[in-house]
Amino acid sequence: MQKYPADRIIFVLDGEIDPAVNILSEKGIKFIKGPDKGKGAAIRTAINNIDSDILVLMDADGSHSPGEINDLLNPLTDDMVTMVIGSRFLGSSEELYDNVFNRIRCLGNAFGNIIINSLWNRTGKNITDAQNGFRSIRRVDFLALDIEENSFSIEQEMVIKCLKKGYKISEVPSFERKRKFGRSHISAKHIIDYVGCIIRNIVR
């Protein structure tokens, strides 16, 4: 597995961050504090303060494999590709199907994919995992999307706005491990965010 320079790895912290701040500070690892408004707001804050041309977004709970980063980067050598998503449905997942709540999340993801593909996807190749946060994108393209979502719906919004602008999205198979740290913060409340995101992009 290729190793990446430590100064190019940046943690984005949001919410209850004191334990993480102490650990990262002791180890000299770079981090950016979010505005405590949700995942989407934290990612926007971080990207506005990062100077890398290409960004790889991944969760810090151990579910995403650093060994797959090159798979996310390679398609970006094609100038026509704007964003690359690691798809659990093209690959596999230890978490999506392991309990009733996660199965419901999986169904919601699949339903969201159907809506997105039917409303905005004109490429002939369906997006299979619009909500997976493991992805790569050029910073200039991310900024051009004018992302607004504050919550977990940011991933969905990125896909929708790429499709609306005619940007090309590529997907690669990804294996999602059962998370090693923390717990999922997605709740029934976030269903409203996902639905709201779709509605806002329909009416605009």
Percent of the chain with pLDDT over 90: 65
pLDDT tens track for 150-164: 999 999 999 999 999
Query: DSSP for 52-72?
Result: -SEEEE--SSS-S-GGGHHHH
Provide the CATH number for the domain formed by 52-203 in this structure: 3.90.550.10
Backbone angles phi, psi at 118, to 5 degrees: -75, -30
User: Which is more confidently placed, 101 or 41?
Assistant: 41
Local structure of 144: helix, strand or coil: helix
Q: Where does residue 157 fall: left (phi above 0), alpha (psi -120 to 50 degrees), or beta otherwise?
A: alpha
User: Cα–Cα distance between 182 and 60 in angstroms, integer?
Assistant: 9
Local structure of 92: helix, strand or coil: strand
Instruction: Kindly report whether the global pTM for this prediction surpasses the value 0.85.
Output: yes
Local structure of 171: helix, strand or coil: strand
Q: Which residue has the tokens 């059962």?
A: 178
Domain boundaries, the chain: 52-203
The pLDDT of residue 182 is above 70: no
Query: Which pLDDT score is estimated for 80?
Result: 94
**Spatial CA neighbour of 165 closest among 111, 115, 122:** 122
pLDDT tens track for 28-65: 888 999 999 999 999 999 999 988 999 999 988 889 99
For residue 181, name the pLDDT band (cuts at 50, 70, 90).
low
